[in-house]
Structure 1
Amino acid sequence: MPANFVHLRLHTAYSLAESTLRIKNLARLVAEDKQPAAAITDTNNMFGALEFSQSMANLGVQPIMGAQLNISDNQGVGEVVLLAQNETGYVNLSHLLSDALLNSEANTDPQCSFEALAARAEGLILLSGGVMDGFVGLPASDGRQALAKARLESLHSIMQGRVYIELQRHGLGAEQVAEPILVELADKLDLPLVATNDCRFDTPKMAGPHDALVCVGTGRKVSEDNRLKYSPNHYFKSAKQMTDLFIDIPEAITNSVIIAKRCSYMSPERAPILPPFTSKTGNTEDVELARQAETGLAMRLERHVYNDNMDAATKIEIAKPYQDRLAFELGVINQMGFPGYFLIVADFIQWAKNANIPVGPGRGSGAGSVVAWSLSITDLDPLRWGLLFERFLNPERVSMPDFDIDFCQDRRDEVITYVQEKYGKDRVAQIITFGSLQARAALRDVGRVLEMPYGQVDRIAKLIPNNPANPTTIAQALESEADLRAERNQDEQVADLIDMSLSLEGLYRHASTHAAGLVIGDRPLADLVPLYRDPRSDMPVTQFNMKWVEKAGLVKFDFLGLKTLTVLQRAVEFIAQRGIDIDLEAIPLDDAKTFEMLSAGDTGGVFQLESAGMRDVLRGLKPDRFEDIIAVVALYRPGPMENIPDYVARKHDPSQITYMHPDLEPVLKETYGIMIYQEQVQQAAQVLAGYTLGAADILRRAMGKKIKAEMDDQRATFVNGAVDNQISEKLASDIFDTIAAFAGYGFNKSHAAAYALVSYQTAYLKANYPVEFLAASMALDAGNTEKLAVFRQECQQKGITIKPPCVNYSFASFRVEPVSDTTNDTADNPLAIRYALGAIKNVGAEAMARLTEKRDSGTKFKNMMDFLERLPRDASNRRQMENLVRAGALDCLHENRHELLKNIDYLLAHAETMRRDKESNQNNLFGEDTDSMASSLRLTPCEDWVAMDRLKEEFDALGLYLSAHPLDGYGNQLEKLRIITASELNRQIEAGRPPQRVNLAGSITGKQVRVSQRGNKFAFVQFTDQTGVFETTFFSDVLSESSDLLNDDKPLLVSANLKVEDNGPRLLAARVQLLDDAVAAWHGGVGLWIRDDKPLEQIKSVLRDDGPGKAEVKLHFTVDGHDVRVALAGRFKLSGELRQNLRRIPGILEVREL
């Protein structure tokens, strides 16, 4: 027998940080209590409406769609509950919530006006609100009885018999004050009463964890008094508990059921909805798709398949399989009802290409479609590369097509704007996504609100294994980690922390926007799904996440931003400055230079191929065909990686290639007999067991899911089909097992091929046009000093000059220019990279763009006075000027950087005076030009920095050493000391071969000193060498021994132990010494090659600077055609700086380590 009460106020976990009620648990509670219906009323949202509908309906419970919403009038704001009676009410509720969220002021709670409610009141039932913040309940509880009455009268006038006065009994004093007033008002105004319980958690035991969650959401501590706090009675009460609670007002209970009977609409699941595609031809969608595809295919064949030597008959023969495949695909697309989808995608991609916005060649299984290739949605020939349409659209299993489209990261928003303008801004939205409390985050958040010591909570959190790909839950960690169990068993407070965190783990904590997903509707989207506003985005966002928005009928389009496309375009533009036009679609896929570079592992900056482990694979593989790149993209992942050695061995020794059955050779020949791609599973089932490719795709999916019943059915079908093809039952079963084992981690070949094409394009440009490619790469990573340092090192290795930043020659971004400053012609001159002004720290790229516009609108800056006069206001604050000086960007106007820095306030004041005079038309009153005015600058003179100080200041401004590195002078001494570079260390770690003890050399770039729980000091110290950065932890004993050295600017030698932990590798310092001392202890020396005796005095002077040491110096020169070597008397201390100073002495031809 159904219960006689219905909950009409249920806050699910989608009331973010307000409720711990998970929808599945809630549905179970309602069903178990035999309540006939239940209403979802989350705060200002319907995030969970469709999930709630399906979960309740699946258990035989009537779902009621509703929400708690803030209403405003001229007296303030208060919450009510709105419940949808029918489809009209649901649409009205969706619009009210959408408008409230999209139009509310920033940093205020979403709200809708009373007038907006009146306009969309049809189909809605209203509950008047509780005492905490209720539109009626709050004024009834705080002495504003007249306002409560006036509001009820106003609501009654617009809702026309659909207003209920809420009564709640959570044990709050305000409820006891308000109740008699509300009962009296109900009697006076002839309005019905209804009992509700504001449910926020499932059982009384969850009151504590719920309170902690509220504190997490509001940023408060549990111990604080003056904060939002719910009573323990906000749990899910049974119908009997509610009946007993309101035994004196039975009609309030009965009315809950009456309201439920008045509501008969649930959030629907719909078939896919797309806007109609209208073409200039007026064709229907299927006819228009065929027209565009056939035209496009003809163009593709002419451009990419035919060659000049082919006669008409040959072309017809070659075209036949393409045309047959096109006809087959069009038939499937039309049968499934998706021609409009293809036309919509093709339209915005073509618009992007016409606007010169880089578009990727494809991603995912869509690259297997000839229709997509013909429409220029993708750029890979599916027949040439053996890509299957059935992996994308399966005629035997209806599912939506899903193109993932990569656009230039910088211009992706332009494409989205085009789509908004074409289909209507109210019909286009991004998709919401929710961030949940993972195990470690839950422990840290709960520990913070419980005010437990940070160090203790951090230590416990780190006992949870860190696996981002498959996060470990607290429950799993308690099973696997003995230390975590011990902490829980030994400390009651820790046990509370863990138990509370277990209760909250997995709850949604915040909402944000999906990185790529976009939906396009055929009507205003709020008619279909409610909308939300992400504060970080101007676009509306659906309130349903990806899973539920698709069930609601909206079709997802993925607009991804891929930085590599921007790098490619920028590089092509740089190359065009030489008069060379590169068409990336037409580059040869067999370029020897490209494969030579890949075989050497020289893949820094190459898409998908630049990791240390991948470089090792490429060196062993020595790829010489595009198919090898497709294969390594597919193989270099956990699971398939174990096949890499076999793949490499078979490539170099074909005698090792074997096939389980001869019929598999055409399927696996390309990959040397190894199954790598999901498509090979389909093809194997086709050739061995007679599957269609569509049926084989269903087989592949079943193998991936490993559901026993499905697998048993598929095994029988496979074996029977193989036996019909004269294959023994045992061999067929063995092959099935082999394929099934692989299918779980096989890779989509279409996706791998599309990625491999981008990889090849980047590699081709790097191999053939390294200056332009590296300049483009640096431009896209201008804000990442770590990457810039790596590129700087690569340029140094390749002999590419990076010119320093300069206000007269640099631009806001990185550029390519001739090595010589005497020409601007890049056609036939050696090229260099000019460092970007915008890459200098804290100057602002936009401000630097305006500065260079000022320069380029006239002439180059002639002197400091000219620079100050033309300096834009937004490029003239103190920090900007200081860093321009430190970086050397003003060297062309004044070489003494230290002097400029000392006079910075004077210079900025001068610039401001000149700007004011110019604005008041008083500038150059007597016709003085800046040449004559320059002498009026009165700079306080001072000595310039010595070389090491100059480098340090440069580093502070750029975040890397550009003109030189403090380690440059040490040459092969670093090798003799068995010093490993930061990049080599990272390579060994990534390749799974981390050394236990290492020697590293570097200059300090940062240091943070901390104090442990026991009062011991420890420090994190950041270093840089010529290849990158590394951080070392110094515990108290090593820190105290080396504190003086860590305050020195000189390069250090750090001996450290390497610990590879769950959250990454850590270097623990064991010993530190000055690098100069380590080099001197080696007893090495240098040889100086000189032409004559002119530099001798300067050599002696420089050697005296560092004093005596243990290294020898030998002079090498030629007398009468004979080589002469002379050792200078004494031993010397040869620091890196001294070596650099020796190299600068005129007359020294070479400085070489002995």
Structure 2
Amino acid sequence: AEPAVKTLLDTSLELEGLYRNASTHAAGIVIGDRPLTELVPLYQDPRSTIPASQFNMKWVEPAGLVKFDFLGLKTLTVLDRAKGFLDRRGAGPEWNLLPLDDAKTYELMASGQTVGVFQLESQGMRDTLRKMRCGSIEEITALISLYRPGPMEMIDTYIDRKFGRAEVDYLHPSLKDVLTETYGVIIYQEQVMKIAQVLAGYSLGEADLLRRAMGKKKKEEMDFQRLRFVKGASEKDVPEEQSGSIFDLVAKFAGYGFNKSHAAAYALISFQTGWLKANHPVEFFAASMSLDLSNTDKLAVFYQDCRRFEVPVLAPDINRSSGDFDVAWEDGQGSVLYALGAIRNVGLEAMNHVVQNRNEGGPFVDIFDFLERVDPKVVNKRALEGLARAGAFDGIHQNRRQLFEQADVLVAYCQSVAAERASSQVSLFGADQAGASRPRLRNVEPWAGPEKLDQELAAVGFYLSGHPLEELTPALKRKRVTFVAEAQGLAEAGHEAFQMAGVVRRKQERASMKSGEKFAFVTFSDPTGEFECMFPPEQLRRCREVLEVGTSVLVKVRAKASDGEVRFFGDDASRMDVLLDDANIGLRVIISSNGADPDALKSRLERARANGKGGEVWLQTTLQGRTEVEVKLPGRYRLDAALRGALKTVPGVIMLEDA
């Protein structure tokens, strides 16, 4: 009755059934025996270089076309890049000739240390690997096929049968050969076809139709196939009751059935990646990090894994690193060279330009030599700041802060040199005086301790050259703090309660499905690695204000170890201030016999003076090479990592000791 409603309905009826957009399968390619225009209508998507069929995937096959999925796998590039690194030292593998019984590869998988290994890197998959302890390529194939929403419920059955904890059921004696490889569990579509062939006399063509029918689950087709299956089985002397129950069981798993040829190809790539990680971890990590160059979170995961595998990662260096991740070998020790292009706000293309310049003109002598040779349009102010914060210039200019804070001056000089180069003007004073116009950089105190590391964190995305809590390690150990590398082993040995410490890196709050209350997963970083801790609702309410990203925290945790995996649960958390305010800690500053800069010492100590709390400081030196003198300073001081790092930069300070 209402005109607006009538217009809406009339318009809707006109539009109903029309396509809103032309969607294209991500990897689907159709191939015919003649020009496609003779078989199907085509559509040219303006965003694509090849046309698409206007028939959807359901109808292109009856029209006479064959469908293919061509998958672009990042892992293949990882393998290829790693082979390039290995070829340099004559160790490049022939991927298709690898020994499929390599013990180190299966040990790696059984340990669950499969971060970066194709198809095997999720937490759940790693837990399953520890339980399953794959020992052959066939078992990897089975795991990849089982670890999906439908057949996942059969994983425990498979594992129990493998280790003899449950009896293997082959459904019928004639099916033993078909199901032996998978301990009686129906996993593959090929097994469904073979069961029909062996038990019910199907031809391979009929068996393929059965496979399709079971996948589609259409009742009429299934009823027809059940009659055919039971009739065929009875001709082979299998009772109707038994063949009917086998059909029902096969139908249940056929819906989940995975194509074995597809799974086997994936399993082979998983094995090759696992072999690379187990046998050549340096090249594995360099290649893997290269493929995640711009994903800082993934790079941080790989960096922690490098530490577990004792693979050194060398900090970015303008005279040694490449634009991309690379490998260096010296005296039989391999290292990953951190990529200049992985530093935030820098860019791979810009760094490739720098590396090309270095290769052609030799190493950069100092920061001005660098600025005189690079193109300011490529290496801009943000790139210069990022490189400085990350420590990439440390080899030619130690003071990171000086370069960062005076980047404007440096970029202006770079631009003026480039302009002069472009106008082909020769310096009035000749080549020897070319440095006369170089700007004088203002003297500033270098970043030290945590501040230096925080700047590095901002540029790289994680702590690379050190850790803010490293300076506090002796004091933390005295407080019976356990670092994560040690806690893992202790937890596996049965210890449950720990006092731990770390800088908060990430915090994810989630609502409980049952109560709706918030709990949190908090990631901490300590000098030996990173660990995740789950804080239940009650504990989170108590500690929420302490658990802020960037805060140094003492954490009381409970640990639970199962199947080689250790999980941490937070009971309480307090700021590191509690430790630093403890009057029982002290610091001894050992000074050379020639003395130390008194003004520098005084200014750093004054900044750390604490009112009533904190620890005491002693100065210790040796007079005339013989007499040891120690002086206790008045007052108390905040003996945090910032003070310790700052004291280490004072000329004449040899070392610090906890007193």
TM-score, normalised by the number of residues in structure 2: 0.76
- CA distance in structure 1 between the aligned counterparts of 2:121 and 2:553, rounded to whole angstroms: 29
* Match 2:443 to one of 941, 944, 966: 941
Shift of 1:540: 4.6
Structure 2 counterpart of 1:628, which letter? E
Counting only pairs closer than 5 Å after superposition, residues 656-735 of structure 1 correspond to structure 2 as 656-735=167-246
Match of 2:552 in 1: 1051
Partner in structure 2 of residue 529 of structure 1? 41
Distance in 2, matches of 1:1082 and 1:639, equals: 56
Question: Aligned pair 1:643/2:154, yes or no?
Answer: yes
The answer to whether the 8 A contact 2:389-2:400 is kept is yes
Q: Deviations over 1:155-182 (max 9, x none)?
A: xxxxxxxxxxxxxxxx9xxxxxxxxxxx
In structure 2, what is the Cα distance between the partners aligned to 1:601 and 1:1112? 47
Q: Which digits, 9 at most, give the CA deviation of each residue in 1:511-547, with x for residues without a partner? A: 5543223446744859953433344x45555555544
Amino acid at match of 1:888: G
> Is structure 2 residue 396 aligned with structure 1 residue 893?
yes
Q: 1:1110 to 1:855 in 2, by over 3 A?
A: closer
Residues 908 and 1138 of structure 1, relative CA distance in 2, 3 Å threshold: closer
1:637: Cα distance to partner? 1.2
Which residue of structure 2 lines up, in the alignment, with residue 788 of structure 1?
Answer: 299
> What SS does the aligned partner of 2:361 have?
coil
For the residue of structure 1 that corresponds to 2:457, the secondary structure is helix
Query: Quick one: which of 815, 824, 849 aligns to 2:352?
Result: 849
Q: What residue identity is the alignment partner of 2:45?
A: R
Which aligned pairs between 1:142-221 and structure 2 lie closer than 5 A?
204=5, 207=8
Q: 2:323 aligns with which of 789, 812, 815?
A: 812
For 1:554-633, list aligned pairs within 5 A: 555-633=66-144
Once the two structures are TM-superposed, the CA of residue 888 in structure 1 deviates from its matched residue by: 1.4
Q: Distance in 1 between matches of 2:452 and 2:655?
A: 24
Distance between the aligned counterparts of 2:443 and 2:203, measured in 1? 85
What is aligned with 1:1074? Answer: 575
Instruction: After TM superposition, give the deviation of residue 787 of structure 1 in Å.
Output: 0.6
1:189-226 Cα offsets, whole Å, 9 max, x none, are xxxxxxxxxxxxxx94682xxxxxxxxxxxxxxxxxxx
For residues 394-416 of structure 1, the C-alpha deviation after alignment (integer angstroms, 9 at most, x for no partner) is: xxxxxxxxxxxxxxxxxxxxxxx
Instruction: Give the structure 2 partner of residue 927 of structure 1.
Output: 430
Contact between 1:837 and 1:848, CA under 8 Å: does it hold in 2?
A: yes
Structure 1 residue runs of 5 or longer lacking an equivalent are 1-170, 172-202, 208-231, 238-502, 821-827, 985-997, 1009-1017, 1057-1068, 1114-1127
Structure 1 pair 519/712, CA: closer, same or farther in 2 (3 Å)?
A: closer
The Cα of 1:728 is off from its aligned counterpart by 2.5
- TM-fit CA distance, 1:639: 2.5
Q: Is the 8 A contact 1:532 1:543 kept in 2?
A: no
* 1:874 aligned counterpart, secondary structure: coil
Are the structure 2 counterparts of residues 612 and 926 from structure 1 closer, same or farther at C-alpha, using a change threshold of 3 Å? same
CA deviations 1:888-921 (Å, max 9, x no partner) are 1122221111111121111111111111111111
Contact residue 157 and residue 166 of structure 2 kept, 8 A = no
What's the CA shift for 1:829?
Answer: 2.5
In 2, the alpha carbon distance for the partners of 1:233 and 1:699 equals: 45
Task: Quickly say closer, same or farther: Cα 1:970–1:749, change in 2 above 3 A.
Answer: farther
1:876, CA displacement in angstroms?
2.6
1:763 aligns with 2:274: yes
1:716 CA drift (Å): 2.4
- Cα distance per residue 1:274-307 (max 9 Å; x no partner): xxxxxxxxxxxxxxxxxxxxxxxxxxxxxxxxxx
Cα distance change on mapping 1:739 and 1:518 into 2, 3 Å: closer
- The one-character-per-residue Cα deviations of 1:44-81 (angstroms, maximum 9, x if unpaired) are xxxxxxxxxxxxxxxxxxxxxxxxxxxxxxxxxxxxxx
In 2, Cα distance between equivalents of 1:1143 and 1:588: 52
Matched-pair contact (CA < 8 Å) for 1:1106–1:1134: no
TM-score normalised over the length of structure 1: 0.45
Instruction: Evaluate the alpha carbon distance shift between residue 685 and residue 544 of structure 1 in structure 2; reply closer, same or farther with a 3 A threshold.
Output: closer
1:551/1:792 CA distance change after superposition, 3 Å:
same
Give the whole-Å Cα distance in 1 for the aligned partners of 2:292 and 2:172: 50
* Cα separation, partners in 2 of 1:641 and 1:810, compared to 1, 3 Å: same
The Cα of 1:1041 is off from its aligned counterpart by 8.7
CA deviation after TM superposition for structure 1 residue 629, in Å: 0.7
Shift of 1:999: 9.6
Per the alignment, residue 744 of structure 1 pairs with 255
Distance in 2, Cα, partners of 1:1031 & 1:927: 67
Alpha carbons of structure 1 residues 687 and 557: separation in structure 2 relative to 1, 3 Å: closer
Rate the CA distance shift 1:514–1:683 in 2: closer, same or farther, 3 A.
closer
Computing the radius of gyration over CA atoms, which structure comes out larger, 1 or 2? 1
Aligned-pair distance for 1:959? 2.2
**CA distance in 2 between partners of 1:805 and 1:556 (Å):** 47
The DSSP-based 3-state class of the residue aligned with 2:341 is helix
- Given the alignment, which residue of 908, 915, 933 partners 2:418? 915
- Report which stretch shifted further, 658-667 or 630-639: 658-667
Partner of residue 463, structure 2: 961
Residues 402 and 446, structure 2, Cα contact 8 Å, conserved in 1: yes
Distance of 1:1021 and 1:599 partners within structure 2: 26
Structure 2's unaligned 5+ residue stretches are 489-498, 510-517, 558-569, 618-631
Give 1:256-267 correspondences, 5 Å limit: none
Q: Is the 8 A contact 1:1109 1:1134 kept in 2?
A: no
Distance 1:236 1:760, change over 3 A: closer
**Shift of the alpha carbon at 1:851?**
1.7
Query: Which residues in structure 2 correspond to 1:125-140 (within 5 Å)?
Result: none
Q: 1:507 to 1:842 in 2, by over 3 A?
A: farther
Q: Distance in 2 between matches of 1:601 and 1:638?
A: 21
Is the partner of 1:875 in helix, strand or coil? Answer: coil
- Aligned equivalents of 1:958, 1:629: Cα separation in 2: 36
- Report the residue type matching 1:533 in the other structure: D
SS of the counterpart of 2:70? strand
For residues 367 and 170 of structure 2, what CA distance do their matches in structure 1 show? 75
The answer to whether the 8 A contact 2:39-2:63 is kept is: no
Corresponding residue of 2:365: 862
What residue number does 1:881 align with? Answer: 384
What is the distance in 2 between the residues matched to 1:892 and 1:518? 52
Contact in 2 for aligned 1:1143/1:1151 (Cα 8 Å): no
- Kept after mapping to 2: 8 A contact 1:1094/1:1147: no
Aligned to 1:420: none
Mapped to 1, the partners of 2:572 and 2:288 lie a distance apart of 37
Conserved? CA contact 1:804–1:962, under 8 Å? yes
CA shift at 1:633, angstroms?
Answer: 0.7
| Change in 2 beyond 3 A, CA 1:508/1:863 | farther
Q: Distance in 2 between matches of 1:1030 and 1:764?
A: 31
Asked if the contact 1:204/1:235 (under 8 Å) is kept, the reply is no
Structure 2: distance between partners of 1:926 and 1:566: 52
Question: Does the CA contact (< 8 Å) of 1:811 and 1:837 recur in 2?
Answer: yes
Superposition RMSD on alpha carbons, in Å? Answer: 4.9
Shift of 1:1081: 9.1
Give the secondary structure class of the aligned counterpart of 2:293: coil
Amino acid across the alignment from 2:182: T
Counterpart of 1:950? 452
1:734: Cα distance to partner? 2.2
Distance 1:509 1:1135 in 2: 63
Aligned length: 593
1:196-595 pair list within 5 angstroms: 204=5, 207=8, 234=11, 236=13, 511=22, 513-519=24-30, 522-523=34-35, 525=37, 529-535=41-47, 537-542=48-53, 545-547=56-58, 555-595=66-106
For residue 656 of structure 1, give the secondary structure of its aligned residue in structure 2: coil
In the alignment, the residues of structure 1 paired with residue 165 and residue 505 of structure 2 have an alpha-carbon distance, to the nearest angstrom, of 52
Which secondary structure state, in structure 2, belongs to the residue aligned with residue 1027 of structure 1? strand
